[in-house]
Structure 1
């Protein structure tokens, strides 16, 4: 029973997460021989202020770029 935890910066829509989960599930079925009904994909949204890259938050990086990107 595969369990995949996807930690991602908040802001993705429910539709985007569903599409991501479908792709992950399909890959587990194809490459790991898992049954789709046994695959668990869990999303953990992380605030942009709590995700840092080289000591800078994603929120700060977005402000510098002038966007609310994902």
Structure 2
């Protein structure tokens, strides 16, 4: 049984959104199941997708809080 873990920041992808919507999550789950079926022949019904959303304050990159890292790279 394939198990896919996806980690994303809890930031909306459209103006005014502060997190991934239910519709976006459903599209991700379907897309991953379809991809594993198309590439590896894994049955869609056996694929489990775990999506974790994290506050941006809970992540760091390059030794900095992620928000600061992004500002420095901009």
1:12-31 matches, cutoff 5 A: 12-31=20-39
Aligned length: 63
Structure 2 length normalisation: TM-score? 0.71
Q: Report the alpha carbon displacement of residue 16 of structure 1 after superposing the two structures with TM.
A: 0.9
- Name the stretch that deviates more: 9-18 or 51-60: 51-60
1:1-70 matches, cutoff 5 A: 1-10=1-10, 11-60=19-68
Unaligned runs of 5+ residues in structure 2 are 11-18
Task: Please provide the CA RMSD for this pair.
Answer: 1.7
